[in-house]
Amino acid sequence: MRKSFVVLLFICGVVAHAQTPQEWRDSVSTLIEQIRLHPKNIDLRLKKAEANINLQQWDYAIEEYGRVLRLDERNLAALYFRAYCQGKVHHYDLAKVDYEQFLAIQPQHFEAHLGLAHVLQKMGRKTDTVDELNRIVLLFPDSAQAYAARAAYETELGQYEVALFDWDEALRCQPSNEGYTVSKVDVLIRMNRRKEARETLDALVRKGTPRGALKEWYDQCK
């Protein structure tokens, strides 16, 4: 549970369809030919970029989204997924620009805000990351993921009291989430509140979680 909040929570909007890598490669070949005949067709270019993403061809996807944006500078799909791909190749400064441009057009997009927080974290901009996570909670006060994202980062920073508050808020919004409960236990253990951590685990077992699945955490409560 010591991973960054992005590893735990960051959601990419790409939906990988049930195709094999070879089928995706075939799709790319077909789309390249179609684009050659219709170079200004944005839908074809977006489909090719999606195929590139599913093949983890990040640079090709970035190039294709760039071509889309030259045709339509406010294309939200191209801005969002280019930002995602820029993050994949560690071009965080460029990803930040794309997320910010996207959010200037679509300010209520949860995943884009999380993506921006992820990028700021990777850039080592702690204050900006916290500010963005605070903004997410303000924009989405009923979102368990919003509180969980902030709690995970606060845990990473060693800010255990506020992290515990946010894990409780996440559980208030989504009380059945076992991952959030275990994350709360992790914070309690770090704070040396082992009795409370064990009681929280016991409550989880009473709800149906196998005790064996929590052995690692029980062992740390001794």
pLDDT of 6 reads 38
pLDDT of 4 reads 41
pLDDT of 22 reads 87
How many angstroms separate the CA atoms of 92 and 85, rounded?
Answer: 10
Query: What are residue 67's phi and psi, to 5 degrees?
Result: -65, -40
pLDDT of 21 reads 87
How many angstroms separate the CA atoms of 72 and 78, rounded?
Answer: 9
24: three-class secondary structure by DSSP: helix
- The DSSP output letter for 211 is G
Structure tokens at 177: 């989430």
Q: What is the dihedral of CA 23, 26, 30, 36, to 10 degrees?
A: 130
Query: What are residue 99's phi and psi, to 5 degrees?
Result: -60, -40
pLDDT of 134 reads 98
* Residues 51, 85 contacting (CB under 8 angstroms): no
pLDDT of 26 reads 84
pLDDT of 24 reads 87
Residues 155-189 have pLDDT tens digits of: 999 999 999 999 999 999 999 999 999 999 999 99
pLDDT of 17 reads 56
- Chain mean pLDDT for the chain: 91
How many angstroms separate the CA atoms of 108 and 113, rounded?
Answer: 8
Q: Give the chain's residues under pLDDT 70.
A: 1-18
1: three-class secondary structure by DSSP: coil
